[in-house]
Chain A
């Protein structure tokens, strides 16, 4: 009904109605304003939370149009107006192949996925894609992107540590196991390789780990495990493992109590020490052999020392004896052959008397030669008190040359005497000085055994008013510079046969003469031995 046709009462009534409507509207308007404020405040709170937690949120419709993007995103990605979601946040021209929005809308349930944000330094986020319908029945999705950088880091750290552990354990050259309440709950690859069981076998509930241990060690290992359980420390032990094939492996076991999957367990590391033990045994055997040899040699040495203290010059006598024998055999042969030739000549019909005379005089001559040699060697071999007299050292040297004559020839040594005839007489014991020179000559010849050019030079010279110096120079192999001080020590020798007494005797003789003895390697080859003897003070008393 139109207002023109209404009565006054009717109009008043209507006006009242309108008044009430306006009031209602005013109330509603206030409520609406209030609501808007509340929404704005909520939105602000939400934006705040999103910002603080670095969480992104957007609302997208089924056509990929963006309806809402949080403020923080807008700062980074710009105004979303008129852009599709893939254009906006990924810079793509078309939807992603694995688009979670499509999936969520089709399944009508929310989807949790992980993604990295290429525009935000590739930071990882967890995306919760929630589909919903507005009051008009249109479908939207809300994407909530929660930052998971920390979680990813933690995951990677865990993964890395697992890899490290796996390498450490599985590639370990030692066997590593975990034993929980008598059951093997972990055994590394090395355990399989050495012991011959597969991991499944180790872990089988029927597997008795004691079969891995040689029976004689089972008790001690059991004790050790019990100690661990009581919280006591246990030292590593050596024991024997038995492989699946029954082979015995000598091992070293170190154990520790650990917590494993909420329980006490024993972590063990086993090292195969078979080779080590074998080496140890060999070493021990060698050591025993060596000790036995050393003992034997020491005994021998003591014996020799005893003999030497009894006959100090034994070695020199031996050396002399051979050359004396040879020297003596020459005249003896001549005498024998001459005499026997004479016998034959005399037995013939017409013996030539002139020849017989010649032979007899030769026999006498050879006999003298033999006695000379014997006399000379007797004085040389005789043990005597120090008998000091005035001597010409050159004569002393010349007297011994015949004794070494054949040795010099045999060894093809070029012997040279370089004697200063003007040196004064010295005070010394002829026989002992001869022994010194003989020893030095023998020593020099020995040193030249393995060299081609063998030169031996004996020199005399006056070095000071008070001393005459004798040197014996060889062209041999020389003396190790590190040992040049040791060579005068008793028993120091570089040859297999020598007793190492020769030079020690020389040393003691020169000492008692008040002289000095030393050796020096020559610049080119060999060594020179020097000794000095004091010049005789009383010149009037010339030697006989």
Chain B
């Protein structure tokens, strides 16, 4: 599973030199001379990142960054620019860019940034995978079990939950057992951590 580095720069010479450099560091590289070309292509499901020139004909780098976040594509971005100034860099970093490199740059700076970006991408993919796993587990939970589960992570005892829901303590116990089994957790602490990842919180009061 070789990580992919996408490069977008309108200068063909720059594009090919960067492709050579990044490939020499063992990454898979795909190049584009304009942002819309990149948006049209199919993106890798494996860890990947984007080396992006700020000033481009048509859609510029910042616009592309916004567009990707709008489309919910979490692709770490390293900006490169021939017009680098600090305010522009700050703007890019604030919007979540991994790095902002003024041209010309040292290979180690670029490659370090790419490694960081790939690491970030890997983390993100892992997290997304975990979340989708949890979500698939949660799909087996019945509405009644779901309700019990939320009271459980609020720290309520079976007796208290029974009173709240108007059913017997014994039934609560059964529901609780099923939830733990379906979600493959051994303790309430584990359950809380798991649900936190998918944003499920205890009921309010």
Contact = CB atoms under 8 A, between A and B. Distances in A.
Contact of A337 (B21, B82, B102): B21
B156 interface: no
B105 A344 contact: no
A340 B107 contact: yes
Nearest to B10: A409
A341 B17 contact: yes
3 closest A-B pairs by beta carbon, nearest first, are A329-B82, A340-B107, A337-B17
Contacts of A331: 13
B25 to A, nearest CB: 7
Given A329-B103, A366-B13, A409-B10, 16 more contacts: A329-B83, A333-B11, A333-B80, A333-B103, A334-B11, A335-B17, A336-B17, A336-B104, A336-B107, A337-B21, A337-B110, A338-B21, A362-B17, A366-B17, A406-B82, A409-B55
Interface of A: 322, 325-327, 329-338, 340-345, 348, 355, 359, 362, 365-366, 369, 406, 409-410
B82 A330 contact: yes
Contacts of B20: 337-338, 341-342, 345, 355, 359
Contacts of A348: 24
B57 A409 contact: yes
Contacts of A336: 17, 104-107
A337 B25 CA distance: 12
Nearest to A355: B20
Given A362-B17, A365-B13, A344 B24 contact: yes
A348 B26 CA distance: 11
B150 to A, nearest CB: 53
A358 to B, nearest CB: 9
B57 A338 contact: no
Nearest to A369: B13
Contacts of A355: 20
Contact of A344 (B11, B25, B55, B110): B25
A343 B20 CA distance: 11
Contact of A334 (B10, B14, B55): B14
A335 B107 CA distance: 11
Given A325-B82, A365-B13, A333 B104 contact: yes
A148 B107 CA distance: 121
Contacts of B82: 325-327, 329-330, 333, 406
Nearest to B54: A410
B39 interface: no
Nearest to A344: B24
19 contacts: A325-B83, A332-B103, A336-B106, A337-B107, A340-B106, A341-B20, A341-B107, A342-B20, A344-B24, A344-B25, A344-B107, A362-B13, A365-B13, A366-B13, A366-B17, A406-B55, A406-B82, A409-B55, A410-B60
